[in-house]
Structure 1
C-alpha cells in the first residue's frame, strides 16, 4: 500500500498539493462554485464544467461569446483544469491549443467517462469511446502535441458495462498516448450513478501504469473516506464529485485529515445558509436576476440535502424566479436541523 500521508500529486510539471481534486460536473462546477470552494481551501486542483469542443469551435468561428462554461477561466487563480469532450482528434486539438495559449489553463482534461445518453449514444463521445481505444489514443496524442507543455489528462470509467470492463487496457492506452495522469470513476457507464464505486478495481489499475499517477473517484463524501482511500487503495490522488456540491467545505476537511490535524466541524446551519446566499449573489452578478435565480435552484437543493425538512424546502425553492422569492423561501423554509429524520 502507498505511504501515508500521501505526497503531493505530480501531473507533468504541475504539483497538486494536497492531492485532492474537485471533479468537473456539468451544470455545477462553474466559476461561482469554484470561488466558494477556494474560500474554504483544501482542493489542490479545481476544474470547470465539461466543455463541448465542437460547440466551442462553432462559437469561435462565428465570433460569438465563448461558452458560459468558460466563465471566469481567464482571470481566476491557478491551478485550474478545463475538461473537454468530443470524438474528433482535430477538433479536440484545436480547442486544447486555444485553452493553453489564450486561457493559460493548468491542465486540459479529456472526458472519456460521461455516461449521459446525449453525450454517448448521440454524440459517440464520453464513455462511449471506451469501446474505441484506438480513437482514444488518437485524441490524446493529438491533444498532447497541441497543448505541450501543458499537461493533458484523461478521466474514464471502469468500462461500458459490468460485462465490458476494460479499464486496465484503457489505462495503458492513455499512458502510451502521452497523458500525464489518469482519473478513474469506480463505476461503469451502464451503472450511471447507482450502486457503489468499486475501489478495488480502481486500485488494480495502478499495476498497469508505468509512470503516470492514478486518481480515484467515486463515493468520497467525508474526510474519513478520503483518508481511507489513500490508506487502503493504490492511488496517488482522489477526486471529490457530487458530495461537495452542497458541502464546498469538504475539501478543507479532507485536507486537514490527510495532514493528521483535527477535521474542521461542519459549518452551522446559519453559516451554511450564508454560504448559499453568497453563492446565489455570485450567480446573479454573472447571469442577472432572472436566469441566475433559476440556475440557483439546483444548488440550493444541494445545500439542503441531508437535512430535516430538505424535501419541503426543495418543493418551494424549485419554483422561485425572482430574488425576492428566493430570499423569502430561504428565510421561511431552509432546513434548521443538521440531519434528516428517517
Structure 2
C-alpha cells in the first residue's frame, strides 16, 4: 500500500503579486502588459529576434512603414519595404505600424497587412515629430491638428482590417499651447480603434525634456472601453514599476532605452510580476550579443551592406559603457566584416 501523501500548505500572501494585469487589444492578449515601441531605423527583424530571445515584451512592433511607398512598390511589382523584413514568417504577436495622411491608402495597406501578412495588430502613427514626416508629408503628429481627419482614417482602416485590431499612437499635442490629447483620444476610441498609446511629449518637444505622465494618466477617465498605453522615458525596470504604481495606464511601451539594453523588457516584466530583476548580461555577453545581431543583419543584407548598417546598432550596444566614445569613433568607419571584427576585438568596452 503506498504511503500517504502530505499536502503542502501554500501561503498565498508570500507569492509575488503582479503590479499590472495583462490586457487585450481587441482579441489580442498582451501579456505581460509591456510593449516594444516601433522605432524607425532600429526595430527591424534582427532587433525583434533579440528581444524575443530575452523575453518580456507582450507585443513587439516593426519600424513604421510608409503606406504610400508600400502601395508604389506593390503597383510596380517591387520587393516590399525592408521594414517588413521577416514579418510574414516571424513569431506572433506582432504589430506593424503604418503612416500617411490618406484614408484610402492606409486602408489598402492595412488590409494587406491583416490578410496577407496576418499581423496581430495594425498601428497607425499619429505621433512621429520628425520634419520629413510632419512638414513634408503632412503625416504623423502633424495630423493632431485635424482630429476629424484622424477619425476618418481610423474608421477606414478599422473597416479594412477587421477582425484584426487597429490601434493609434499619438503625442500630447503639437505644442505645449495646443495640448489636445483628451479630445483626440475620444476621437480615436469613437472611430473604432482597439487601443491608444500616448507619448508624454508634444511634437514640438521632440525628445527633449521629460515625458509628462500626469497628462498621459489624465486621459484614462475619458476612455470608455479601450486600453491606454503610456510611453516616454522608461529606461529601467524601476521606472516601469513606478509607472504602473503611480499612473492610470493599462500598459507601458518601452522605446529608445532598449536599443542598448534589449534585455530591459525581461527585467521590467520580472519587476512587474514582483519577481527579482535579472541582472544585465556581462560585458563579454553583451559583446557576443552584438555579434549575434550582426550575423542576423548579414543574413538579410549580405556582409557588405550589413557592415555599414551595423555601425549605428554597434554604437547603441556601447552606449554608456566605459570606452564607448573610442569604440564609436572607430566603428563608425567600418565597411567590411574584417574591419568590424577588428574594431570589436580592439575597442569594444570590456
Question: Normalising TM by the smaller chain, what interval?
Answer: over 0.9
Q: In the TM superposition, what is the alpha-carbon distance from 1:297 to its structure 2 partner?
A: 0.6
Aligned pair partner of 1:166 in 177, 180, 184: 180
1:234 to 238, 242, 248: 248
Pair 1:84 & 2:98 matched: yes
Secondary structure in 2 aligned to 1:229?
Answer: helix
Q: Secondary structure at the match of 1:144?
A: helix
1:107–1:150 CA contact under 8 A, matched in 2: yes
Structure 2: how far apart are the matches of 1:88 and 1:4?
41
Contact 1:4 1:231 in 2 (8 A): no
Deviation (angstroms), 1:9: 1.6
**Residue in 1 that maps onto 2:227:** 213
Offset at residue 4 of structure 1 (A)? 5.2
Name the residue aligned to 1:47: 61
Q: Distance in 2 between matches of 1:329 and 1:305?
A: 16
Which of 256, 280, 289 is matched with 2:294 structurally?
A: 280
* 2:211–2:233 Cα contact (<8 Å) kept: yes
Provide the residue aligned with 2:317 in structure 1: 303
Alignment equivalent of 1:130, drawn from 144, 147, 151:
144
CA displacement at 1:300 relative to structure 2? 0.5
Normalised by the length of structure 2, the TM-score is 0.95
In structure 2, the partner of 1:339 is none
Aligned to 2:12: none
The corresponding residue for 1:291 is 305
**Equivalent residue runs for 1:37-186 within 5 Å:** 37-186=51-200
Residue by residue over 1:75-96, the C-alpha shift from the partner in whole angstroms, topping out at 9 and shown as x without a partner, is 0000000000000000000000
Is residue 322 from structure 1 mapped to residue 350 from structure 2 by the alignment? no
Question: Match of 2:217, SS?
Answer: helix
- 1:22–1:43 CA contact under 8 A, matched in 2: yes
Distance 2:142 2:245 in 1: 32
Q: Is the 8 A contact 1:4 1:230 kept in 2?
A: no
Which residue in the other structure is 1:203 paired with? Answer: 217
Distance 2:107 2:20 in 1: 33
2:18–2:274 CA contact under 8 A, matched in 1: no
The whole-number CA distance in structure 2 between the counterparts of 1:314 and 1:148 is 46
Unmatched 5+ stretches in structure 1: 337-342
Alpha-carbon RMSD: 0.8
SS in 1 for 2:149: helix
- Residue pair 2:158, 2:166 contacting (<8 A) in 1 also: yes
Give the distance between the partners of 2:155 and 2:310, measured in 1 at CA.
Answer: 38
> CA-to-partner distance for each residue in 1:186-209, whole Å, 9 max, x for gaps?
000000001110000000010111
The residue aligned with 2:48 is 34
User: How many angstroms apart in 2 are the aligned matches of 1:312 and 1:202?
Assistant: 39
**Runs of 4+ that moved beyond 3 A:** none
How far the C-alpha of 1:246 sits from its partner, in A, is 1.1
Q: Deviations over 1:156-211 (max 9, x none)?
A: 00000111100010000000000000000000000000111000000001011111
1:22 counterpart (36, 40, 46): 36
Counterpart-to-counterpart distance in 1, 2:281 and 2:80 = 36
- Kindly name which structure, 1 or 2, has the bigger radius of gyration based on alpha carbons: 2
Match of 1:189 in 2: 203
SS of alignment partner, residue 83 of structure 1: strand
Name the residue aligned to 1:333.
347
Unpaired segments of 5 or more residues in structure 2?
1-16
Normalising by structure 1, we get a TM-score of: 0.97
